[in-house]
Chain A
Amino acid sequence: MKKLAFFALVGLFSLLPYPLLAHGEEVKIGVRVVLASHKGSGVDNGLQDIQRKLNDLFNYSSYRLLQERSFFLTQGQVKQLPLTKGRDLRLKLLRERKGSVEIIVKILREGKEIFKTKAKLKKGGVFLIGGPKHKGGVLVLAISAQGA
């Protein structure tokens, strides 16, 4: 009888759909704004974890961490951050499912959308958006997502 109850419980719990379990979960989004340039050299301490990747990907001599923000988003929630004067970053969490998140990232200039991407990240994954010119260098945004 105990075996029977065990199998029945396993069966019933397995039937709970994943989206239902994950519904309403918060996702921690991390944003680091980096100024990459040839002025000076070195990598700020706050970028130690991605230093090797930055050096592999780009050939700038200096990487300065301009700002670092982290916040929680739930499905459908939007967060806007100022990047530099006149530039903003807007993030929207579309969906959180099975260890990955779907987000929309927009870059606004003077309130006008100049860039938009939709990406799916595994939790713990990081991706970079680079290129916007700033103070003789370029901005590199490191965007990461983690489960709450």
Chain B
Amino acid sequence: MHGCARFTPLLEGYLDGELSAEQIDAVEEHLWSCPRCQKELEELCTLRKILREAMEEGLVNEQLQVAWDRITEGLTPPTLKERIWWPVRNLLPPFRPLRTLAWGLALLAILLFIIPLVTTAPSPPVEVESIESEHPVMIFQGEEGMTVIWLFEAEE
């Protein structure tokens, strides 16, 4: 959904319970309809869980190296593609295949049918495309646009 840039910085505070009641409502309403922020929140939760478990184990054993090893095991470094794509992705609205398809079809309809209808010049009421005759023929139009084909036929 739109407005991810506004809500992403609030997710940490949301998990930490540092937000006001209005902010919580706004974040939850946004999360309801935004898969991207839902995923972001899920990733934050996972990260916190890894950190917490690692720290707890390290503290129990009083070995910080153990804690650090557990953290690095839980975290997978982002690939080159992810490092390039993620910042760009955050700037774009979320991709919705069905909505995109619907907009695409509507745009196609406009391009194929509506624009030609609007731009086509009005044609005259009658267009004579061809005439073949044994006798001389004249075509003329009256003041009101009535087309007349006059056949100069010999006497009956």
Residue numbers of A with Cβ under 8 A of B are: 4, 7-8, 10-12, 14-15, 50, 53, 56-57, 100, 102, 107, 114-122, 124-134
Contacts and interface: CB of A to CB of B under 8 A. Distances in A.
A100 B126 CA distance: 9
B102 A133 contact: no
Given A8-B105, A119-B127, A130 B149 contact: yes
A115 B151 contact: yes
B128 A53 contact: no
Interface of B: 98-99, 101-106, 108-109, 112-114, 123-135, 137, 142-144, 146-156
B128 A119 contact: yes
Closest 4 CB pairs of A and B: A11-B105, A14-B109, A131-B151, A7-B102
A11 B123 contact: no
B135 A128 contact: no
A10 B105 CA distance: 8
B109 A10 contact: yes
Nearest to A145: B126
A107 B108 CA distance: 46
B131 to A, nearest CB: 5
Given A15-B105, A53-B142, A115-B151, A122 B156 contact: no
Given A7-B102, A15-B108, A56-B143, 7 more contacts: A53-B144, A53-B146, A115-B134, A120-B123, A120-B129, A128-B147, A130-B148
